Amino acid sequence: MAEEPKRPLKVFLCHASGDKPPVRELYKRLVSEGVDAWLDQEKLLPGQDWRMEIPRAVREADVVVICLSNKSITKEGYIQKEIKFALDSAEEKPEGTIFLIPARLEECDTLESLRKWHWVDLFEDNGYQSLIRALRARADRIGAELQETERSLTIKETELKAIIAQADEVANTDELTFLPNRRQIMGDLQREVILSDRYDTPLSISMLDIDHFKKINDTYGHIAGDEVLQKLAGELRQRIRQPDTIGRYEGDVFLIIFPHSTLNVAVESAERLCQHIRSTPIIHARNVFHLTISAGIAQYKTHEEDWRGLLDRADKALYQAKNNGRDQWAIIDS
């Protein structure tokens, strides 16, 4: 009698939104090993309810891998809501029916609630191989299948880091400013809007534009304009707090996302950035450029609009700031 084929091992990848690039690479590697991995970006379909699909995926998983980093744990030591939601759901399962593996993506603290499980450091040499051995042990115990490939046994952790860095740079980074590109920053905005609706937390954004930037391109050429844009982007990036995110939206327009923040936070940031750019000359060759920026600010109206409405209000506020004389910020609430 033919032996019934084994099913793939089901692994749920739990992570914070800021860790998506490395977790996506981990997902791809696990899939190549024959694992039935679950990652929200890959598995969730448009129109599905997160609140139903994530608990369902956790309940059906053989293993839950909880990816930890400094992005996923706050200074007070509390895990982000997205990870906590999955962890709470996993804890509801009967003892022995799920295998929790804390996996550190970088040197960071480990939650007290996770310390009874031995963790794996994926950033260390042989960290990935250790994870695969644990998954294989779990698969053997429940009669699932985990393919063993030569690549999984021989690839070095340094090669994995190079793959992650290259994929992240190509797919998500603006090649001129080295900020998150439009695709990445818009994806971040859409995810933060979903989280704001789900948890009723505030969310604000700020759209920045360099005043009279076209004159630099017209007068000094696009090479000079590119270098000025690159240096100004660096100044902005250095003065953005964590966990706020800045990306290049288009041309000389930048978008800043302020998770869990009201208008006051965005206003304070705009005032600080306007003052800093105003007082920081940008030097190119023998030319010294004294620049200013304008900012349009808006706070997300939870359950009343989508990300497009929020972005549209910030864009209108930006034009209002420029029409009011530039080198300032404006807010549109309606």
Prior bond of 46 cis (ω within 30°): no
**How far is residue 255 from each of residues 23, 33, 55, 206, measured CA to CA in Å?**
24, 38, 33, 6
* pLDDT confidence of residue 285: 85
Is 70 exceeded by the pLDDT of residue 263?
yes
Average pLDDT (163-171) is 69
* pLDDT confidence of residue 164: 67
The interaxial angle of helices 50-60 and 81-91, nearest 10 deg, is 50
Amino acid making up residue 152:
S
For residues 182 and 249, what is the distance between their CA atoms, to the nearest angstrom? 5
CATH 3.40.50.10140 boundaries in the chain: 10-172
Can you give the pTM of this predicted structure?
0.54
* pLDDT confidence of residue 218: 92
Confidence of residue 150 (pLDDT cuts 50, 70, 90): very low
Q: pLDDT tens for residues 57-90?
A: 888 888 889 888 887 766 444 456 666 666 776 6
For residues 199 and 84, what is the distance between their CA atoms, to the nearest angstrom? 12
Mention every residue, 6+ apart, whose C-beta is less than 8 A from residue 131. Answer: 65, 101, 103, 120, 122
Q: pLDDT tens for residues 29-60?
A: 998 888 999 888 788 888 888 778 887 888 88
Q: pLDDT tens for residues 182-212?
A: 999 999 999 999 999 999 999 999 999 999 9
* pLDDT confidence of residue 4: 53
Amino acid making up residue 38:
W
Which segments of the chain does DSSP mark as H helices, in order? Answer: 20-32, 40-43, 50-60, 81-91, 127-142, 150-154, 157-172, 182-199, 213-220, 222-238, 263-278, 307-323
Q: What is the mean pLDDT of the chain?
A: 85
Q: pLDDT tens for residues 15-30?
A: 877 788 889 999 999 9
* pLDDT confidence of residue 194: 92
For residues 35 and 200, what is the distance between their CA atoms, to the nearest angstrom? 35
* pLDDT confidence of residue 140: 82
- CB atoms closer than 10 angstroms to residue 100: 19
The more confidently predicted of residues 95 and 261 is: 261
Average pLDDT (246-272) is 96
**Residue among 79, 85, 67, 10 at smallest CA distance from 43:** 10
Centroid of chain to Cα 158: 22
Q: Which fold has domain 10-172?
A: Rossmann fold (3.40.50)
Average pLDDT (139-143) is 79
CATH 3.30.70.270 boundaries in the chain: 182-331
* pLDDT confidence of residue 151: 44
Torsion region of 77: left, alpha or beta (phi above 0 gives left; psi -120 to 50 gives alpha) = left
Is the domain defined by 182-331 classed in CATH 3.30.70.270? yes
* pLDDT confidence of residue 149: 44
* pLDDT confidence of residue 94: 66
Is 60 exceeded by the pLDDT of residue 295?
yes
